[in-house]
Structure 1
């Protein structure tokens, strides 16, 4: 089975800047973060033909901007989806950093705006805004940030920012700046995404829930006089047969015990993210009934914050599930797998050549 359509899909991979592993929740087969390994993953993604790589952000990760700057000269076509946190930097400094990295990478930069997160983690960065205020900050941030990247000289005072004659000396390569990727499942998140995002991202929920979310974002974007495209963040476990794929999924959590899951879930629930609550509701911390939709497995979310579901199956099955999401309006897929280097090749060999990709 091959996806045939007139619209190309963008397929990205993931850079594990917090470390990589062969088994979830265990040090067995773990790989430390170092630039040599991250470069291997990035060069593999570049050679295989992925559209780009997502670089995450957070206290457990290497800095996304610095990693992208280090890897851009080591790749040729690969785009870097760099996670940025409004509230931790001013919109004008962020615009200068964005323009510089876009120039360094010769126009291969994408920006992923991350508003949510753990209040405990935010407090460690001195960022004490609650959920509603964080989205208000993001709204103001993106208004200034995007106008500066468009080449405007901005003087603006808002509740959280006050800038005078803000402008760029050196513009980005991409006219108007890189595309803005954004995710948020709350009403506030959808409102901000509809107002500012180019690409709205969702985590890998069952298709019916994704369809509902897409409808909400589209309706809100229409109120803003805008249109938004859509992407999804998923893990993937693909093998030559579906039986082997499910065996690999079970093997991934072979070292997980109940106490490890309990501790992980306690950490994961220390957040006010609506999207994270929706992810957790798919499994409720239990390893029973982890196939929450045909070939959609929630086992990753037992111990991992953020994206917690994986497509599982042989190539035909995985392509069929991709097709289902594509038919909902998804045109961008951000995948990952454990370990990321080997799984980038496996997906790249079994599935990627059969997709109509950009």
Structure 2
């Protein structure tokens, strides 16, 4: 299992807790990235939103791509997965920008391609907002252009949404044949596109048995296309405590739902512009990306055993959220990662 985490570019993950002790600043992002690769984390995901959908639109949020370039220059081992939304980036220009950052990082950049969901943000920034399936049609063409720019000496393309004429991109990305392209989605249109054009599939938090069924479905789609195997990742919010009672107390604190919270309207916008396979509760709203559904809550032994269940279900990567991020990542690295990478918790108990 690889361990990744969401870079807290929004100042936290809890919609009902105003101050989580992690400011949306470059200083905090740099400190977190540098420490994380020292203690055993493999990857960070830098989300891309120009407005803050968790703490409220007036709250600070860091720009994804300038933050990524800076992180590439101050880290040595960490994979930097950066979210990119096709409607906000012309594909040939993004391919050029990403190739340069990949060179700066020594081949550690990857993309998380996101078909935009936030209509309000798009309107405020003067960006076109397509309907759901149209967004995936656009994303398909966008991916074709990026891939062609990265791989071909000269590249031309003419589609419904994008055209390029005899374009040249040099230098190419350091990672060959291309930086890893991750994408998430639960609708039929999303799954079909990801199976055909991406390298890895990401999903929101869910129990291992649910994740296992989703992984099996995506593997079957991939096999039907006679393409190489995919990687699979899922989101999760981790609460590690010395006792179950302490873990439950923390969950009660962070799920004290306030429908008046500044991010609640943004959450409603997300629900209205996505096609999820299941209903999302107000408790799910409390922590972004359905993180609590992963069930990574309890003692170090309980959380480690849960992670091994995800591994058996077919996951390669966990994208974790913590609050406060740095302190809880230190705890997780010290108390959970060794259990996952070493002796299984059940075997430790029997020894």
Interval of TM-score (by shorter of Structure 1 and Structure 2): 0.7 to 0.9
The root-mean-square deviation of aligned C-alpha atoms, in Å, is: 2.1
Among residues 314, 318, 333, which one is paired with 1:333 in the alignment?
318
| Residue 163 (structure 1) aligns with | 164
Report the TM-score when normalising by structure 2. Answer: 0.87
TM-superposed CA distance for 1:324, in Å, is 1.4
Correspondence list, 1:116-135, <5 A: 116-125=116-125, 126-135=127-136
In 2, the alpha carbon distance for the partners of 1:180 and 1:167 equals 21
Correspondence list, 1:246-265, <5 A: 246-253=248-255, 256-260=256-260, 264-265=263-264
1:310-342 C-alpha deviation (Å, 9 max, x unpaired) = 510111111111111111111111111001111
| Residue 153 (structure 1) aligns with | 154
Structure 2: runs of 5 or more not aligned: 53-60, 343-351
2:7 maps to 1:15: yes
In 1, the alpha carbon distance for the partners of 2:181 and 2:112 equals 6
TM-superposed CA distance for 1:305, in Å, is 4.3
Structure 1: runs of 5 or more not aligned: 1-8, 286-298
Contact 1:238–1:314 (Cα < 8 Å) also in 2: yes
TM-superposed CA distance for 1:219, in Å, is 2.2
2:215 maps to 1:214: yes
In 2, the alpha carbon distance for the partners of 1:229 and 1:110 equals 13
- Compared CA separation, residues 106 and 91, structure 1 to 2 (3 A): same
| Residue 198 (structure 2) aligns with | 197
In 2, the alpha carbon distance for the partners of 1:70 and 1:258 equals 36
Contact 2:291–2:321 (Cα < 8 Å) also in 1: no
TM-superposed CA distance for 1:30, in Å, is 4.4
1:275-315 C-alpha deviation (Å, 9 max, x unpaired) = 4x73xx242x2xxxxxxxxxxxxx4x333443432510111
Contact 1:103–1:173 (Cα < 8 Å) also in 2: yes
- Compared CA separation, residues 257 and 213, structure 1 to 2 (3 A): closer
In 2, the alpha carbon distance for the partners of 1:188 and 1:152 equals 31
In 2, the alpha carbon distance for the partners of 1:144 and 1:222 equals 24
Contact 1:99–1:177 (Cα < 8 Å) also in 2: no
2:223 maps to 1:232: no
Correspondence list, 1:64-103, <5 A: 64-103=64-103
2:46 maps to 1:55: yes
TM-superposed CA distance for 1:110, in Å, is 1.3
Contact 1:53–1:81 (Cα < 8 Å) also in 2: yes
